[in-house]
Amino acid sequence: MELQPVILSGGSGTRLWPLSREQYPKQLLALVGDETMLQATAGRLAGFKGRLPVAQAPIVVCNEEYRFVTAEQLRSVGRSSRNIVLEPVGRNTAPALALAALAVAEADPVLLVMPADHVIRDLAGFQAAIDAGIPAALDGAIVTFGIVPDRAETGYGYIRFGAERPDGSKAIAAFVEKPDAATAQRYLDSGEYLWNSGLFMVRASTWLKALAALQPAMAKACDAAWQGGARDADFVRVDKDAFVACPSDSIDYAVMEKLAGATDLGIPGCVVPMSAGWSDVGAWDALWDIADKDGSGNVARGDVLFEDSRNTLVYAQDRMVACVGLDDTVVVETPDAVLVARKDKTQNVKQIVAALKLEKRSQASAHRKIHRPWGWYDSIDAGARFQVKRIVVNPGARLSLQMHHHRAEHWIVVKGTAEVTNGEKTFLLGENESTYIPLGHVHRLANPGKLPLEIIEVQSGSYLGEDDIVRFEDTYGRG
């Protein structure tokens, strides 16, 4: 029997725009410390010495759109997984957990379900709470972990707990939605409420049994999606049509809140209190709360100067940002968008994202810098009939063999060695050398070296969209 980490990495983090975007959400960002939130989550059980040994690698359930960067981030910190389960569409956490449970149904481990976009500052406190929940999970319960509140927080749901159970956990008396300020204070004063963390522990077989009984349509759709799926290297692709047909719901709503009324099911729900410096980092004000501050309460990331400013958070990604006379403000600078907001209004950032989507603005979903399985590119300039990109190709990686109907390309090598296929010729280019790819020519760029390859690409033509790519061969299985 093992403790199997399951990382749910499907969120979009719209309230942390412009750093977090649909195609590169907050769990892929290093918002706190040097590791990304995904990497930190994958390492959260390092050194765990509890009742069960920890499985060698996590199961990760993520959106298909960012599968390659997810795999690369895990690999780069030595936490690679052969079970990265790809969701063709988002269906919330209950179906995601079902896919993870189906992946290891035969071994039937205890699953520790962790959102990839949370921060936990006290790993010892976290691991102690996890160990305390294992007996209840082994005994057939579905365990959630409730955060011991330290303030009257209106941004979280709450769990009211009841009597202590024989296994040391506490019975769940009620789940409560986000309260107003007065109600939150009453919850805090009573000592009977915990914040709902979104962390769960359950045997794989227990979850599948509960889902089949309480959400049969969801269980059937997930099973069909899993059975119709296929493995692709480190990725597990489920059947798209079956998963699209799956109802969408959270673990709480789909199962946890219904367990008390399903006594004949024989699966209790329980909660284990946790004090571990937890935050779901739901918005910029939450990040300010947990970040290290200077003597004036300011938080700076990047090249930032403060003058006569207090309790202000600034993220500078691309340029120097100077702040004069700011109080309780959030400033987030990226290459293609800048956010300025009152700290107590940052929950409303999602409305800006909704407006951008309505206007079909690219800033809603993607950064200027786009990650690909072979490396990344940054669109550094564009105008009528031209676009300039900075392209970095990882050592040993190669782009697809492709052609374009509407554009020609000029490639200039600025660092490393490029292997170029241009029509029927394949040749090497060194630094300060260049080539021209005429419109309609089949071509490929590869990095045969041991260092990153960097080129400047100048595109010219009547249409420069990314959908003007005809792929003939691709290392990464893209159509």
Phi, psi for residue 348 in degrees, rounded to 5: -85, 0
Give the β-pairing of 193-203 and 142-147. antiparallel
Report the percentage of the chain scoring pLDDT > 70: 100
Adjacent-strand bridge partners of 435:
411
pLDDT for 185-236, tens place per residue?
999 999 999 999 999 999 999 999 999 999 999 999 999 999 999 998 789 9
Give the β-pairing of 418-422 and 443-446. antiparallel
Q: In the prediction, which pLDDT does 476 show?
A: 86
pLDDT for 120-168, tens place per residue?
999 999 999 999 999 999 999 999 999 999 999 998 999 999 999 999 9
pLDDT for 188-198, tens place per residue?
999 999 999 99
Q: In the prediction, which pLDDT does 58 show?
A: 96
Residue 263 has pLDDT above 90, yes or no: no
Q: In the prediction, which pLDDT does 402 show?
A: 97
Q: In the prediction, which pLDDT does 414 show?
A: 98
Residue 12 has pLDDT above 80, yes or no: no
Give mean pLDDT, residues 439-464. Answer: 97
Residue 479 has pLDDT above 80, yes or no: no
Residue 465, CA distances (Å) to 135, 407, 476 in order? 55, 9, 21
Q: In the prediction, which pLDDT does 432 show?
A: 97
The CA distance from 103 to 122, in Å, is 30
pTM over 0.85? The answer is yes
Mean pLDDT of the chain: 95
Residue 350, CA distances (Å) to 15, 275, 283 in order? 5, 29, 9
pLDDT for 350-390, tens place per residue?
999 999 999 999 999 989 999 999 999 999 999 999 999 99
